[in-house]
Every structure is written in C-alpha cells, then in structure tokens.
Structure 1
Amino acid sequence: MRRVYAVLLALCLALAGALATAGPAQAAPQTVTTGTQFTDTNGSPVHAHGGGVVKVGSYYYWFGENRNTDNTFRYVDAYRSTDLKNWEFRNHVLTEASDPELATANIERPKVMYNASTGTFVMWMHKENGVDYGEARAAVAVSDTVDGDYTWQGSFRPLGTHMSRDITVFVDTDGAGYMVSAARENYDLQIYRLTADYTGIAGLVADPWHGGHREAPALFKRGGVYFMLTSGATGWNPNQQQYATATSIAGPWTAMTNVGDSTTYGSQTAYVLPVQGSSGTSYLYLGDRWGNSFGGTVNDSRYVWLPLAFPSSTTMSMSWSPEVTVDTAAGTVSGTSATYNTLIARHSSKCADVTSQSLWARAQIKQYTCNGGTNQKYWFKSVGGGYYQLAVRGSSLCVQENASSVTQEDCDGSATVQQWSLTITGSYVTITSRASGECLDVNGASTADSAALITYTCNGATNQQWTRGG
C-alpha cells in the first residue's frame, strides 16, 4: 500500500510541476469589434497607436504610442495577449525619462523585432523634436526582454542624409532584417537592409515608388510574395490605401493598386499581423482611426482590424466587417457578415441620423434628409430573445435610450437601454425599447431636419413608424 501511495504522490508531484511550468492555455476563438477603442484587462484604454506586434512563445506583444494631451511623446506601451482580444498591460517600455533626447521628443510608429542571433529585441521608430516635423529621423532602442525597459540607442537619418518619417520593420524568412520609411517629405518610400544586429542601416535596397507620396507602410510576406501596404499622405485624415507586390524584396515591385474603400474604412495602416496556427496562416490588418481626424487627440483613436483576403498569390482585398473573429490556435481570421439599413420615418421620409456624422459617444440621433451616409446606416445585431442592438456603421457605437434623448454610446451587450424589439406591420416597423417599453419616436412629429429622436409611449402614430431601407 505504501508503494501505491508513493507512486500516486510522485504522479501528483509530476503533474503539479508540469502545470507550473506550462505556458498559457491554448486561446479560444475571440470576436473583436471593429472601429472601437479597446480596453485592457484592467479596463483602461489600450494605447498602442501606430503600433506593431511581435510574437514570443504563445504571446502576442503589441507596442504602440501613448501620447500626452498635446500629442507629444509620453510612452511606448507594451501589452500582451494569447487571443488578440484580451490585452494585459505589461510596461511603459520607453518613456520621456529613458533618455534626455526623449524629454521633448515626438515618437511615432514604434515597431519591435527579435534578433535570434543576438537574443535582443530591437525597436525602431520615427523621431521628431516635439515641435515640428523638421528632424525626420529614425531611432533605435534595445532590450534583452520583450517587455522590459528599452535602452535608447539614439536617432539619425538613414545613410546620413535620408529623411525618415513613417516607419515599419520586417524580418525575412532567412533572418535578414529590413526597415521601411517614408523619405523626402513623404514623396519616397524606401526599403533598407539592416545590419546583422538590426540596430543600424546596412544599405538601401530599393526606392520603387519614387515620388509616390506614400506613408504608413506595412511590409509582410505570404508564400514567396512580398506585399507592401501603404496609405497616401493626408495627415490624420484617412484616404485610399494601396498595395504592391514583388517576388524579391529588392524588386521589381508592381505599381500600387487600390485596396478597401476610398478611406480604408476610416483608418490608416499600422501593421499587418500574420496569425499562424494549426490550420495555416491568416493575415490581419491593424489600422488606426486617428482621434485627430474627428476632433480628438491620438489617445482618442480607435482601432480598425479587418481580415485580409487573397484572391490570388499576388492580389489582396479587404472588406468592411463590424466584427472579426480570431482563432489564434487555428490561425484563422474571419469577418462577420452584416446588413446595414437606413431607418426612414414614415411621416417625414427623413432618416435617423447621427448628428454631424459624429464618432463620439453621447452624440444625439436626429432625423435628417436621407443621404446614404454611414451615420445613417444601422446593423440590427441580434442579442437573443427577439431583441437587437442597433450598431451605427460610421462610429461602431450603439443606439441607446436615455431619459429625454436617444444617443449613440459604446456598445454594451447587457444594457437593456441598448436593446430594441421590432414589430412589423405591413411595410413599416415599430422599434420598442426593452428598458422602458416605449417606441422610437420623432419628437413632436416634426418634419424638419435635426428634429430629435426620443422614446415615447407607443401610440401607432406615423412618427413612430419606420421603413428599413438598403
């Protein structure tokens, strides 16, 4: 009997030891809402703007900008996740106090790469003086651990004279490191090979789109084909993004081809993340919807994540999806199919409209002449039990009943003030709040533009009847 107990004890101890040394549990599939401001596991906003991701073991580490209210540099923050939805804050890996040069700096688009030969994590970034964009310098910092404090190595212009603004990095399958940056007042997009330790420039590899006026580069490789995805140079405002391909990083590269819609769904490229798992590798577009483009600051920015599709080995497409489901274990990324409708008031023939095309929470819903804008389009997302959330296409926020108004707010699947039931009578639908039992109503049956939407005792009037248009 003692021997049996001894064997059982040994097995228990071995199991406990295995559990203690095991990595994180395999991540379950997760759904990420597109166009929102993410929060970390503590409920704080994720500040990883203009950022990039590096995978270490089972963890994805996301680095990005955390700025002061005047948009100057505060931190480069690091977060980690196994499933790409639940992000744990790890460290302010680079701060204003890291080096005197950073005390009054502006740091943009930090990207981290791992050098397998030196065992070092190397961060490249765009550095300015915090006042204007006259420096146009690249900068480097290093760390022995992925989320430790990074040591500033200094800033410089590549090859001594080349301007360097928006920046990205790439490690090829042979271990060679590359840096891409916007040069010559953003009119050129140049590809540099890095030194063996990734901390310096070995030489210029290609300048394929000379005079193209491109920025926000993201470089990745799929199969034997290199893809370069970039935006136009329109400041904080989104524009039509384009991509090019090559079978050698030195070229020849193809001409740029449009991808996505005319504003890339209100975003600008930050990074393209390969998600590799048991079923293969998928590619996830990580974009920034800059807060500065809608009256805020960098730290007000939202994240636009979308799956990339590849109709052929050398072509790429990107479509809007309000939600993206990521399975990091399988390596799959898929978008949610959604139909968006306008809501047209029967009595006025005007559309339910988020005032001034606002992207901010608490913006009122009013009626306005129908114009096809994304602030007049709603996704009726089922939450079960015959109830729906009404998610606005333009803002990714949800329609909410308040005491005296109807507004758009951050979506909360458990909030009954954001849940609505539908009653269809002939060609019209009545929309009823789950919280109050009152109907969506144009205040005072007004037919004027900018009349407020409210909830009111259901009475069958035509200002409570709506047509769902395409």
Structure 2
Amino acid sequence: MSAALVATTTPALAESVAINNGSQFADTAGNAIQAHGAGIIKVDDTYYLFGENRTGYLFKAVSMYRSTDLKTWTFANDVLTATSATSLNTSNIERPKIIYNAATKKYVLWAHKENGTNYNEAKVVVATSDTVDGNYVYQSEFRPLDNESRDMTLFQDDDGTGYLISAAKNNYDLNIYKLNDSFTGIDSLVTVLAGNHREAPAVFKRNGVYFLVTSAATGWNPNQAAYHTATSMAGPWTSPTAFGDPRTYNSQSTWVQPLTGTSGTAYLYLGDRWGPATGQQPNDSTYVWLPITFPTSTSLGMPTSSQITLHAAAGTIANGYSGTTLATVKAGSSGLCLNVANQARSYESGIIQWDCGAFSNEQVERRPVGDYTQFVFQQSGLCLAEGTDGSSVVQTTCGIGNRSQWTVSGSQIVNRASGLCLNVSGDARTRGGKIIDYKCSTTAPNDKWSFVS
C-alpha cells in the first residue's frame, strides 16, 4: 500500500451525487483537479481518476485522485512525472490509461508520448507500479510495430486480454493491438479501422457488443462524436455513426466508465472541454460527464445536460438533479427572453432577445459560484459571459473566469469582471435586439430582468 493511501482516508460509500458539467472539478483540499484526457480504474470499492497535468503545454505529471462516489475526489499521487525518466523531462504525455495485470501483479500505464516540441515522435510510453497509486517506473517508449501512435486508449476484455487502440497515419487510421502477456508491449496488430480520420478513442463492452467511441480530428475544437460497434475486437467494425449533440456538448471523448451496482449497470461518458479552444491553457480545461443511453443493443445515444446525478453504488446515472433551477431570463423592457442567436452551440456566439418559449437555447441553469451566479445555456452547456471586447455578451466556456460570473441585484444582472449591467442595445423592444453589457441605470428599462421558471 502506498504512503498516499495510508496518509488519508477515502469517504464511505455515498448516496446520489450531483456533477456540474463544464466546471473545473476540485479535490477535497480545494485544488483544481488536473486529470485531462482522463481514465478511470476501479480497485475494490474505490475509483481512481487520473490524467494529464501540464505546465503550459508541457508534461508535468499524470495526477491521480480517488473517490468512492465519483464526486468527492482526494488527491492520491503524481504517479508519473517529468522526472520519472530523462526523455520525459521535456515532453508531451497525453491520454494516460492504466490496466492491471493479474499474472505479474503490476499496474501498467500507457500514454501517448511526444518530444515537447512537435508531434513527430508519435510514440507510446509504458510504466509500471506495484500499487495503483504508487510511483510508476518508466519501462520503455516506442512506436507500436513501428506504426505512428497518437491519441490512444487501453481496454481489458472479460478474459483478461489487454488491447491498445491508437490513432495512426495522421489520425486517418485507428489500429487495434493485442498486448503481450505482461501488458508492457505489443503481441500483434489485430485490425485496422482505416480512413475515417478519427481520434480520442474510448472502448467499452456491453452485453457482448464492443463500442468504440471517437471524435473527428479537429485539434482542440469540439465536434460531433461517433461510435463503431463489433462483436469481436478483431471486427468487423461498423463505420462511424454520429450520436448526441452536434458538438458533443462542447467536449471531446476520453473514457467510458461502466458503473455496476445494485440497480444494474450504467455507462458514464467522460469528456474534456479543452481550454485551448478558447485561448486558455490545457490546465484550464473543464470536464463533461454524461450518461450514455442504448436505444438498441448495437446503438447508443447521449442526451446532454448541464448537470447529472449519479449513484455509483446503485449503478445509475440521470440528467439533472433535485434542486436544479432552470429558467428563462425575461427583459423588462420588451417581455422577450435571452436567446442564443441562431441556436448556435459554438464559443463566443452572440446573445439576442427573442420570443419566450420552451427552447433549450433560452433555458438556463442558475449555477451558484461562491457569491456569484453563472447562467448555463442548456443547449450548449456554455455560460452567459461578457465578450472579449468588453461590451458584447456571448456564450462561452464556463471556466473563463470572472467574465462568466454575475451578481443578481434586484432586477439587474451585473457582470463580475466589468461591473456593467446586462442590457438590451438600442430599441429595447426590438425582437432580435442585441444583448450587451452597459453602465447600470436606476431608471432605464433596458437593464431590468426577471426570471421565469
């Protein structure tokens, strides 16, 4: 047992917990959780979440956290660091994944490895540990069977066989490899899913059907997720089928975690809302966790929500939770409602006033953030925020900081960053009128608002 496990305790099995999507998760010490491109491994009743922790864009550590309820996370260890091997001193280490080898009694970590300057190496790095949260010992780095290996994941089948799934040929192919007996190398190339230009793989198995979730290769920018299915890891695999929101709720896949409990098994999608897509750093990225649904035995869906409720011990996940405050925001000057123009889902999209209705681009979650409030649009999962020009109002990532935080003061909504009020520009009664922030007034109707549940 590692010193980290001895030093602190893990909370007891919990009841239902609420997860806020698009937020920066915090550990029990109040520090931001840095586990991007994440994976999860469950040991006994404890889930271990681990992922990328960077200094700028460079590798700092694979940081690991533990929880029994998937919400209350305690920092466990930086299991692999930039000082774990000379070649890691200046590098990029992405999408780490861990599986357990029962024969060797080793936990085995694989990750995508680059030289920290460009993406020409396209290697994997392998490290091992006697304990799940121990200091992993660097073993090797290589190209699998001399093939490029970029975005990658691991999967362990019911029979204990381990697999590496990684993007090759500039992300146009996904290669599926069988691992060797120790899980520290490659046994063979099992099959190639060629020509689809996909990345960010995540594999799980349900009732004998293998699902491979991927994203398109659009860098840090979100796109629509897709899935392939097969009845064998060797295939044949179906062509990619799109599912869920057109921008995957502004996230990119990294892992799917089965939750098996007293009420059955649910499947939890883990995604990253990448900070660099909005000019931030990788460690500014936030998390999107959503339940996967199964219309048929070989198809999946993913309804989106700014909040989910999960019960790890029961094995259940649902969108929303008791206490959610959803509302439309109505302008006092016109009776029209805040609306994301053109039903856009993208960052920095403008906000207008429009007819009030049961539209997801008008429905907002009122999310408390300390003494302030964020308004999260249900269609996109993005937050109402002051624009970068200091006068427009847009939707953007909720992790943008003070720009996305507001004070509700009577009938006025005041931006934390600027101290200006949410305001209807020009003729306050115009359908389609642009929403800005402007100097607060005690008399003008343009900056007066109400909430309709």
Shorter chain as denominator, the TM-score bin is 0.7 to 0.9
Residue by residue, what CA displacement relative to the aligned partner does 1:255-309 show, whole Å, maximum 9, x if unpaired? 2110112211111101001111111110000000110101011101010111000
* 3-state SS of 1:216 partner: strand
Structure 1 residues 344 and 245: alpha-carbon distance in aligned structure 2, compared to 1, 3 A threshold: farther
Could you tell me which residue of structure 2 aligns to residue 96 of structure 1? 82
CA distance in 1, matches of 2:178, 2:355: 49
Q: Secondary structure at the match of 2:283?
A: helix
1:334 maps to 2:318: yes
Alpha-carbon distance, 1:380 to partner: 4.8
Letter paired with 1:213: H
Structure 1 equivalent of residue 5 of structure 2: none
Distance change >3 Å, CA 456–CA 299, structure 1 → 2: same
Counterpart selection for 1:66 from 53, 64, 74 = 53
1:225 aligns with 2:224: no
TM-score (normalised: structure 1) = 0.78
SS at match of 2:246: coil
- For residues 150 and 465 of structure 1, what CA distance do their matches in structure 2 show? 55
Match of 1:311 in 2: 295
Paired residues of 1:91 and 1:147 also in contact (CA < 8 A) = yes
What is the distance in 1 between the residues matched to 2:336 and 2:147?
57
Show the 5 A alignment for 1:314-325. 314-325=298-309
Aligned length: 418
Partner of 1:9: none
User: Identity over aligned residues, as a percent?
Assistant: 44
Aligned 8 A contact 2:424 2:435 in 1: no
The aligned counterpart of 2:138 is 152
2:102 is the alignment partner of 1:138:
no
Name the SS for the 2:277 alignment partner. Answer: helix
Is the counterpart of residue 47 in structure 1 residue 34 in structure 2?
A: yes
CA–CA separation in structure 2 for the residues paired with 1:184 and 1:139 = 18
Structure 2: distance between partners of 1:455 and 1:57: 56
Which amino acid letter does the alignment assign opposite residue 198 of structure 1?
F
The amino acid of 2:36's aligned partner reads H
- 1:171: which partner in 2? 156
CA distance in 1, matches of 2:449, 2:229: 51
Q: Is the 8 A contact 2:406 2:413 kept in 1?
A: no
Matched with 1:268 is 252
What residue is the counterpart of 1:118 in the other structure?
A: 104
Does the C-alpha gap of structure 1 residues 59 and 359 become closer, same or farther in structure 2, counting only changes over 3 Å? Answer: farther
Partner-residue secondary structure (3-state), 1:293: helix
- How many Å apart are 1:390 and its aligned residue? 3.7
AA aligned to 2:129 is: S
Paired residues of 1:398 and 1:418 also in contact (CA < 8 A): no
- Distance change in 2, residues 1:147/1:320 (3 Å): same
1:23–1:58 CA contact under 8 A, matched in 2:
no
Superposition map of 1:286-297 within 5 A: 286-297=270-281
Question: In 2, Cα distance between the equivalents of 1:215 and 1:389?
Answer: 32
| Partner of residue 12, structure 1 | none
What is the aligned partner in structure 2 of residue 214 from structure 1?
A: 198
Query: Cα RMSD over matched residues?
Result: 3.9
Please say if 1:200 is aligned against 2:185. Answer: yes
| Most deviating of 247-256 and 176-185 | 247-256
1:81 is matched with which residue? 67
What letter is aligned with 1:118? T
1:380 and 1:216 mapped to 2: Cα distance?
29
Q: Please identify the structure whose Cα radius of gyration is greater.
A: 1
Q: Secondary structure at the match of 1:311?
A: coil
2:285–2:399: 8 Å Cα contact kept in structure 1?
Answer: no
SS in 1 for 2:300: strand
Distance 1:349 1:134, change over 3 A: same
- 1:141/1:250 Cα in 2 relative to 1: closer, same or farther (>3 Å)? same
d(CA) in 2 for partners of 1:155 and 1:65?
18
Match of residue 187 from structure 1 = 172
- For 1:85, the aligned partner's letter is K
Q: Specify the SS of the correspondent of 1:53.
A: strand
**Conserved? CA contact 1:140–1:154, under 8 Å:** yes
**1:317 match: secondary structure:** coil
Residue 114 of structure 1 deviates from its aligned partner by 1.0
Aligned to 1:10: none
Task: Tell me the TM-score normalized by structure 2.
Answer: 0.81
Aligned 8 A contact 2:337 2:355 in 1: no
- SS of residue matched to 2:19: strand
Decide whether the 8 Å contact of 1:225 with 1:246 is kept in 2.
Answer: yes
**Paired position in structure 2 for 1:105:** 91
